[in-house]
Amino acid sequence: MTYSVIITNYNGAGVLKKNLPKVFAAVGDHEVIVVDDASTDESLTVLQNLKKKYKSLRIVKKAKNEGF
1 within 8 A of 27, measured Cβ to Cβ = no
- Residue type at 42? E
Percent with pLDDT over 70 in the chain: 97
The verdict on residue 42 lying in a domain is yes
Domain annotation covers residue 68? no
Evaluate whether residue 21 is within a structural domain: yes
Closest CA to 67 of 39, 48, 45, 41: 39
Q: Is residue 19 part of a domain?
A: yes
Count of domains in the chain? 1
The reply to whether 45 falls in a domain is yes
Q: Which residues pair with 60 in a beta bridge?
A: 35
Asked if the structure places residue 14 within a domain, the reply is yes
66 lies in some domain: no
- Domain interval for residue 44: 4-61
Q: Model pTM? A: 0.92
Q: What is the mean pLDDT of residues 29-42?
A: 96
> Does 67 map to a domain?
no
